A and B are shown apart, each in its own frame.
Chain A
Amino acid sequence: MSTSTWQRVLLYAILCGVGFILLTPFAWLLSTALKSESADLFAYPPQWIPDPVVWSNFVKAWNILPFMRYIFNTFYIAIATVLLNLFFCSLTGYALARMHFRGRQFIFYCILATTMVPFQVLLIPLFIVTLKLGLVDTHAGVILPVAVNAFGIFLLRQAFTTIPKDLEEAARIDGCNEFTIYSRIMLPLIKPALATQAAFTFVAQWNDFLWPLVVLKSRELYTLQLGLASLQGVFGVNWRYISAASVIALVPTVLFFLFTQRFFTQGLTSGAVKE
Chain B
Amino acid sequence: MHGRYTPFFFVGPGLLLLGIFFAYPLLDTLWLSLHRYNIFTAPVFIGFDNFRRAWGDELFWRVLANTLLYAAIVVPALVVLSFFMALLLDNSLRLIKIFRTLYYIPVVTSIVVAGIIWKWLYNSDGLINAVLKGYGIIGPSWLADARGVPEAFLGLFGIQTESVWFTEPAIALFSVAMVTIWKAAPYYMIIYLAGLQGIPIALKEAARIDGAGGWQVIRHVIIPTIKPYTLVVSIIATIAALRTFGEVYVMTGGGPFHRTNLLSYYIYTLGFKYLEVGYAAAVSVFLLAIILIFAIINFRLAGGDNTTGGA
Interface residues of A (CB under 8 A from B): 1, 3, 7-8, 11-12, 14-15, 18-19, 22-23, 25-26, 28-29, 32, 42, 44-46, 88-89, 91-92, 94-96, 99-101, 104-105, 107-109, 111-112, 114, 116-129, 131, 144-145, 147-148, 153-154, 158, 178, 182, 203, 206-207, 209-210, 213-214, 225, 228-229, 232, 239, 242-243, 246, 249-250, 253-254, 256-258, 261, 264-265, 268-269, 271-275
* Main SS at interface, chain B: helix
In the complex, chain B residues whose CB is within 8 Å of the CB of A32: 120
The yes or no answer to B80 lying at the interface (CB within 8 A) is no
The yes or no answer to B149 lying at the interface (CB within 8 A) is no
Determine the distance from Cα of A104 to Cα of B10 in the docked complex, in whole angstroms.
Answer: 12
Interface residues of B in 156-215 (CB under 8 A from A): 182, 186-187, 190-191, 193-195, 198, 205, 208-210
In the complex, chain A residues whose CB is within 8 Å of the CB of B210: 7
Contact, CB under 8 Å: B116 / A232: yes
Determine the distance from Cα of A169 to Cα of B14 in the docked complex, in whole angstroms.
Answer: 26
In the complex, chain A residues whose CB is within 8 Å of the CB of B8: 101
A-B contact pairs, 15 of them (CB 8 A): A14-B209, A28-B117, A94-B10, A99-B6, A107-B11, A114-B18, A122-B26, A129-B20, A178-B10, A209-B245, A214-B272, A225-B110, A239-B120, A250-B113, A274-B308
Contact, CB under 8 Å: A88 / B271: no
Residue of A nearest to B202 (CB): A1
Interface residues of B (CB under 8 A from A): 2-3, 6-8, 10-11, 13-15, 17-18, 20-22, 24-26, 28-29, 32, 39, 85, 88-89, 91, 93, 95-96, 99-106, 108-113, 116-118, 120-121, 123, 125-127, 130-131, 133-134, 182, 186-187, 190-191, 193-195, 198, 205, 208-210, 228-229, 232, 239, 242-243, 245-246, 249-250, 263-264, 267-268, 271-272, 277, 280-281, 284-285, 287-288, 291-292, 295, 306-311
Known contacts A99-B6, A246-B113, A268 near B194 by CB under 8 Å: yes
